[in-house]
Amino acid sequence: MSKTIIISNRLPVRIEKDENDELSYKTSEGGLATGLGSIFKTGDNIWIGWPGMAFSSEESKANVKENLLERNMAPVFLTEDEVNNYYLGFSNQTLWPAYHYFVQNIIFNEKQWQSYVDANKKFAAVVAEYIEPGDTIWVHDYQLLLLPQMLRDINPDLTIGFFQHIPFPSYEVFRMIPWRQELLKGMLGADYIAFHTYDDMRHFLSSVHRVVGLAYDRNEILLDDRIVVVDSVPMGIDYDKYAKSAESSDAIAREARYRRDLRGRLVLSMDRLDYSKGISTRLKAFERFLIENPNYKGEFSLLLIVVPSRDKVPSYQSLKEEIDELVGRINGEFGRMNWTPIHYFYRSFPLPALSAFYRMCEIAMITPLRDGMNLVCKEFIASKRDQKGVLILSEMAGSSKELSDAILVNPNDQKQLVESLKKALEMPQEEQVAHMELMQSSLQKYNIFKWVDLFLGNLEEVKTMQAEMATHNLDKKSHSQIINDFSKAQKRLILLDYDGTLVPFHDDPESCAPSDELMETLKQLKSNPNNEVVIISGRKADHLEKWMGSLHSHLVAEHGAWIKEPYSKWTRNPELNSDDWKEEVKEIINFYVDRTPGSFLEEKANALVWHYRKVEKGLGALRSSELYSHLKYMRRRGVDVMEGNHIVEVKPTAINKGKIALEYKKRFNPDFSMAIGDDRTDEYMFEMLPESSYTIKVGPGNSFARFSIKDDVAVRVILKELAEADS
């Protein structure tokens, strides 16, 4: 029976040694552990990760492994050196600062990179011990970016999902990393890749396109063997857990006890120690507030909770010293005998204590300089059972995309931070309740369990789509079957694309005339009255007339805009709408022609095509992506934007090769039908024709076609064999 394997850097337990040197296993209360608990604790499912300690003896490793397996977990044992170089090193001194836009903190170290590679290999080796056919793999976060492809190399048929919990930076920052290609290719081993926000997803797609050179359509990346889907799936919290904890007798008792020492109104600031959290910036804004609003002195205090983190990393040690100095300075300057401006705690607290803090504090000031999501603000909202309270939230936090009813601020704008604090302190209760009610409703609906179900459900849909689009190389058996079925059939329909199918691509689109041998083969097929041969192309009508007119067969130009029946004249498709869109699109395409040497605009009667085959490789791919994005809004005008082989084409949505192919199928009602094409425009044919049709894609890549063949040479071989079988 198939199982789900969850993989993260850390396991959802903390292994600690007591005074007797005995190991104890303490369950993590983090959001991810809570959300995935319902999965890894059932059946044969398992969670694989580092247990948080280095073990030297094989005996202790065996003991830990045995204890963890009883909890549906499996350990990846890392040495102290690996932890220092892979985790504290490359993960947190290269990736973390780069992904949070702290470029001044980035360290590029070849030894740390190699340790990162080796650690990912070690994870892959442990996962390989548990993989069975049909398993689902869910990899988590930036410490394991190489793992998806390593697992794909072990078993190409695996179902692999990847979720990144921190931001993904813009291309301009990401390109700084020397090992950028390796990181992206590692991630692309997954079938489904998700981030917290659309911005992160967009940055990732841009980097894939510009660094690896892969094209994407909306949120789908086309690899040679499959499609990878990229998505935005914001993570929630266990809403009921925090709501119930806030009403527990323990939390209420703690609040009463804390209130005796923490008098007056309270503003909560709670973060893990990290320069991305903006703690120093927030403290400076608090100091400025007290200077500019002296009437508030003594009225409220800041409850500053900083959870220890990575205190062995020099930049974190410096940050801790800076926070200590700021707190000391502010308390020393503004404090009174009966009032302390900042109550500062450098430690973690259990859930009942956190719930008491959430209850006590009227305002939560969560203003990271950059954050993938930030769940503290969500926990604060869930804990406000009376719906009174105000959230000041950084627009740089992923959670701001969901919590638009908070007071959103730019954390770098000191003036705005000061104004937001004043606004929060003076906000009427009715307004507080109105905002809190909306945010609670949203968080209650999109909780951590919804997030888990959504991710795994989407991953399953991606695998289904891949299966539907999976093509099989046309082997000898299938090849023989086609020839045999063709020979037996009384009425046959053959639909053929032109460029890349009947003839190879050429740098000059005007120089793609068919060979004499190809024309002879097509004429031989056309000579049998039982055969209907249709050349269906994106080419202009005059091109097809020049090259294929002597065939006296069915010709379809511009994807179906123009049609010519044997021995007849060209006629315009009556379904076409007006051409009032063309001038606007022409102006946009010409803008890209002017700034992209080697590109040009081809104007057809019912379509506009931007060609970039002669453009410098990287520049052409970049400009095509930009143009495609620029033109997408034109779909509202009744036109479609398609990316083909070194082209971007705009045409009316009323026509496509699929509709035309289906019309011919209905008209002739053949007992043998075959369609051959090479690019995305031909997918319409493959998708629309019934499953009994022989649909063949030319070249690599996923497709709705049943079979794939190598190139145009293979196409001509098949057509010649059909013609000979017919003689």
Spatial contact of 518 and 499, defined as CB atoms under 8 Å apart: no
Nearest to 513 by CA among 534, 526, 498: 498
In DSSP terms, 652 is beta-bridged to 639
The CA distances from residue 147 to 2, 30, 47, in Å, are 20, 23, 15
Which residue is listed with tokens 């001194």?
93
- What phi and psi, each to the nearest 5 degrees, are found at residue 41? -85, 0
Element (H, E) at 285: helix 279-292
E-strand stretches of 589-698: 600-603, 608-611, 639-644, 647-652, 672-677, 694-698
Q: How far apart are CA 703 and CA 217, in angstroms?
A: 14
Nearest to 378 by CA among 37, 99, 33, 31: 31
Q: How far apart are CA 589 and CA 69, in angstroms?
A: 60
Catalytic residue among 231, 497, 640, 679: 497
The CA distances from residue 412 to 140, 269, 278, in Å, are 30, 16, 9
- What phi and psi, each to the nearest 5 degrees, are found at residue 558? 50, 45
Nearest to 127 by CA among 164, 162, 145, 152: 152
Q: Mutual orientation of helices 516-526 and 712-726 as an angle, nearest 10°?
A: 40
Which residue is listed with tokens 């969850």?
6
Nearest to 182 by CA among 145, 214, 157, 152: 145
Spatial contact of 141 and 167, defined as CB atoms under 8 Å apart: no
Q: Mutual orientation of helices 712-726 and 476-488 as an angle, nearest 10°?
A: 40
Residues 6+ apart with CB under 8 A from 563: 554, 555, 556, 557, 570, 571, 573, 660
Nearest to 61 by CA among 15, 105, 26: 15
DSSP for 313-346 reads SHHHHHHHHHHHHHHHHHHHHH-BTTB-SEEEE-
| Both structure tokens of 361 | 């504090």
Spatial contact of 275 and 315, defined as CB atoms under 8 Å apart: yes
Q: Which amino acid is at 590?
A: N
Nearest to 440 by CA among 398, 389, 394, 396: 389
What sign does the CA torsion over 621, 625, 630, 634 have? positive
Q: Is residue 497 among the annotated active site residues?
A: yes
Three-class SS of residue 83?
A: helix
Q: How far apart are CA 407 and CA 419, in angstroms?
A: 10
Spatial contact of 168 and 195, defined as CB atoms under 8 Å apart: yes
Spatial contact of 349 and 305, defined as CB atoms under 8 Å apart: yes
Which residue is listed with tokens 């730019």?
410
Strand-strand pairing, 472-473 and 707-709: parallel
Nearest to 618 by CA among 210, 221, 175, 222: 210
Residues known to be catalytic = 497
